[in-house]
């Protein structure tokens, strides 16, 4: 049952084709597409270097720290609120109508208010990302806990587990697959919200660099930045997926 | 095997107390009605799962309960386990009313209910968190050896066959050393050969541990092979039709005429077989 070579190469097929088309469209002294719209790969590669010398690392760090801080805040509040609602119908009844109303507001709609309250620095963006991350984590934690089979709870009770032991040894692990859906989804949102928020108002960060590159007509920088942003988003999801695969390795089908 | 030897040693010293560590179970006038919550309500909305069930189970007895599906066997076992508390009548353990589950009663559920995120060994250790690690590991090792799952200690439940999972569930219940073990069709998922082996094992465990065993089964032969008492239940409403004291010497011989005769009697009571013509000595060939 060894997969054929084509299976291993499959993920690289589309990028290879895209790269080839890119080379073709931008080759020669009179390329098919104006370099202002589509700079050749070599120029974009040089753009990485220029950005790097212009303290790309500093901007990257600014973005990373903001997104991490916002994500952690959103996850912590989402987990605790979701757990509280999942474990208590009363708490759910108290909180969910309000939360469901706020949930209808797109994350970025809060941006002007956040800038007004917390300024255009990292504070407002942290809150904004936290808000955007909160909802998927909250909802999936709540549903994860509600989905814990009563049969497992009974097993815990048969072995004399108290409330806390039931929570830690039965409810939490049984709800983990659901929680992870929220964690991964929230991570994707966090990165997207951050970049857009930085584009709309920031003095540092990858989103800020995007806007500045546009103003300076540095298209090759735009491309370099898009690669970086996409790469980071991909890495975050990849890392979380690896973590999920490890933590949920007891589930059948992961190897398949 | 070593599990048996060691416990045999302890049991031998405590043998003067007769039934050792076992618990007696007394059930009086137990009735349970489920409201049918399903849409439509064609059944009239209520199911009388148990109707005025009374049963005395002596400490150290092996009681087998047989009956058609839906006659309340699981409900009865759950009431003894303390998982079903909203009922009429009483269930008592050594005279103490049962109000909740407790470590004195082990349960092997009809579905194995291994926790899928714990290895087989960790599942087996589920009721042992109060013990020091070394003793815990030793108990897990012995319990798994007893059910023949030593090589699967590190496996995930999802990797086990149905029969192996059920054996792991038996090991998990045994490892906690309950005073009464409640088994709900524990061998139903096993293949014929493993089933025979596990029947022998269950009898040995019962003999050596000297605990009370209440086993639900749909297999009349299994009930006769293991039970001191075989309780026959009938459905709608769930009632005890008869209790048979089985006086046959152990280990019991399935092929013996008396065994076969009892088997036929039980099947007739379960309405699975029409009564044979009453010809005296028809098995004395
Ligand atoms: N939780 C429940 N809700 C509604 N009806 C139930 C429930 N549990 C059992 N019953 C009903 O009670 C009757 C007895 O069920 P059960 O004790 O599981 O029977 P058995 O184990 O003998 O097959 C059945 O008719 C079943 O449908
Ligand atoms: Mg049943």
Q: Is the peptide bond before B56 cis (omega within 30 degrees of 0)?
A: no
Whether ligand 1 lies within 6 angstroms of the CB of B49 is answered as yes
* Contact between residue B235 and residue B270 where contact means Cβ atoms under 8 Å apart: no
Residues of chain A under the 70 pLDDT cut: 1-2, 252-256
Q: Quick one: pLDDT at residue B2? A: 35
B72: left (phi over 0), alpha (psi -120 to 50) or beta: left
Q: Quick one: pLDDT at residue A1? A: 59
The span from the CA of A121 to the CA of A141, in Å, is 31
- Answer yes or no: do A250 and B156 touch at CB < 8 A: yes
* Contact between residue A38 and residue A220 where contact means Cβ atoms under 8 Å apart: no
- Answer yes or no: do A160 and B101 touch at CB < 8 A: yes
pLDDT digits (tens, 9 = 90+) for A104-134: 998 888 888 888 898 878 888 999 999 999 9
Q: Quick one: pLDDT at residue A67? A: 95
HSE, CB side, 13 Å, CA atoms: give it for residue A116.
5
The span from the CA of B113 to the CA of A158, in Å, is 12
pLDDT by position in tens, chain B (length 285): 333 333 333 333 333 344 568 889 999 999 999 987 665 555 567 889 999 999 999 999 999 999 988 899 999 999 999 999 899 999 999 989 999 999 899 999 999 999 999 999 999 999 999 999 999 999 999 999 988 899 999 999 999 988 899 999 999 999 999 999 999 999 987 888 888 988 998 998 899 888 999 999 989 999 999 999 999 999 888 999 999 999 898 889 999 999 999 999 999 998 876 665 555 544 443
Interface test with A, best of B99, B109, B115, B124 (most A CBs within 10 A): B115
Q: Whose CA is nearest to atom 14 of ligand 1?
A: B72
Q: Which domains does chain B have, with CATH numbers?
A: 1-30+59-104+179-273 (3.40.50.300), 116-177 (no CATH)
Q: Residue B67 CA: which ligand 1 atom is closest?
A: 22
Q: Quick one: pLDDT at residue B146? A: 87
Yes or no: domain A52-247 corresponds to CATH 1.10.3720.10:
yes
End-to-end CA distance of chain A: 11
Q: Say if the ipTM goes beyond 0.85.
A: no
Domain ranges of chain A: 52-247
Q: Using beta carbons and an 8 Å cutoff, which residues of A are at the interface with B?
A: 151-152, 154-155, 157-160, 165, 170, 173-174, 176, 248-252
The span from the CA of A206 to the CA of A211, in Å, is 9
Q: Quick one: pLDDT at residue A65? A: 94
Q: Quick one: pLDDT at residue B10? A: 36
Q: Quick one: pLDDT at residue B14? A: 36
Whether ligand 1 lies within 6 angstroms of the CB of B259 is answered as no
């Amino acid at each position: 049952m060894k997969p054929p070579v084509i299976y291993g190469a499959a993920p690289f097929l589309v990028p290879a084709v895209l790269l080839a088309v890119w080379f073709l469209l931008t080759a020669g002294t009179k390329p098919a597409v104006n370099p202002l719209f589509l700079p050749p790969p070599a120029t974009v590669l040089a753009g990485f270097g220029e950005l790097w010398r212009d303290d790309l690392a500093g901007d990257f760090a600014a973005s990373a720290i903001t997104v991490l801080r916002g994500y952690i805040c959103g996850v912590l509040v989402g987990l605790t609120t979701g757990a509280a609602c999942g474990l208590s119908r009363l708490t759910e009844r108290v909180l969910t109508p309000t939360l469901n109303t706020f949930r209808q507001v797109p994350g970025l709609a809060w941006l002007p208010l956040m800038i007004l309250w917390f300024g255009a620095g990292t504070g407002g963006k942290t809150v904004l990302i936290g808000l955007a991350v909160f909802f998927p984590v909250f909802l999936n934690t709540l549903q994860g806990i509600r989905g814990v089979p009563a049969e497992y709870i009974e097993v815990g009770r048969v072995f004399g587990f108290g409330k806390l032991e039931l929570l830690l040894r039965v409810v939490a692990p049984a709800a983990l697959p659901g929680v992870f859906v929220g964690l991964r989804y929230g991570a994707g949102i966090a990165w997207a919200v951050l970049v857009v928020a930085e584009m709309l108002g920031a003095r540092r960060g990858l989103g800020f660099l995007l806007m500045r590159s546009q103003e300076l007509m540095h298209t090759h920088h735009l491309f370099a930045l898009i690669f970086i942003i996409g790469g980071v988003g991909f890495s975050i999801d990849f890392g979380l997926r690896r973590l999920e695969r490890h933590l949920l390795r007891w589930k059948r089908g992961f190897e398949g | 095997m070593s599990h048996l030897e060691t416990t045999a040693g302890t049991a031998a010293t405590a043998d003067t107390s007769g039934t050792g560590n076992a618990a007696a179970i007394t059930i009086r006038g137990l009735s349970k009605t489920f409201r049918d919550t399903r849409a439509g309500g064609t059944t009239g909305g209520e199911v009388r799962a148990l109707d005025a069930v009374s049963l005395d189970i002596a400490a150290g007895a092996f009681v087998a309960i047989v009956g058609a599906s839906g006659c309340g066997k699981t409900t009865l076992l759950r009431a003894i386990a303390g998982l079903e508390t909203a009922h009429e009548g009483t269930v008592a353990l050594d005279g103490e009313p049962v109000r909740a589950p407790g470590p004195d009663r082990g349960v092997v559920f009809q579905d194995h209910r291994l926790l899928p995120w714990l290895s087989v060994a960790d599942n087996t250790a589920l009721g042992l968190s109060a013990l020091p690690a070394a003793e815990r590991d030793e108990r897990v090792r012995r319990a798994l050896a007893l059910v023949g799952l030593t090589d699967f200690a590190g496996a995930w439940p999802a990797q086990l066959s149905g029969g192996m999972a059920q054996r792991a569930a038996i090991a998990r219940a045994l490892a906690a050393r309950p005073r009464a073990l409640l088994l709900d069709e524990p061998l139903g998922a096993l293949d014929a050969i493993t089933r025979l082996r596990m029947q022998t094992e269950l009898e040995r465990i019962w003999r050596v541990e000297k605990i009370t065993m209440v086993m639900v089964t749909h297999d009349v032969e299994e009930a006769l092979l293991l039970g001191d008492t075989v309780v026959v239940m009938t459905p709608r409403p769930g009632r005890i039709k008869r209790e048979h004291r089985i006086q046959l010497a152990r280990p019991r011989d399935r092929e013996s005429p008396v065994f076969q005769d009892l088997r036929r009697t039980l099947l007739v009571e379960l309405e699975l077989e029409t009564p044979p013509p009453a010809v005296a000595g028809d098995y004395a060939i």
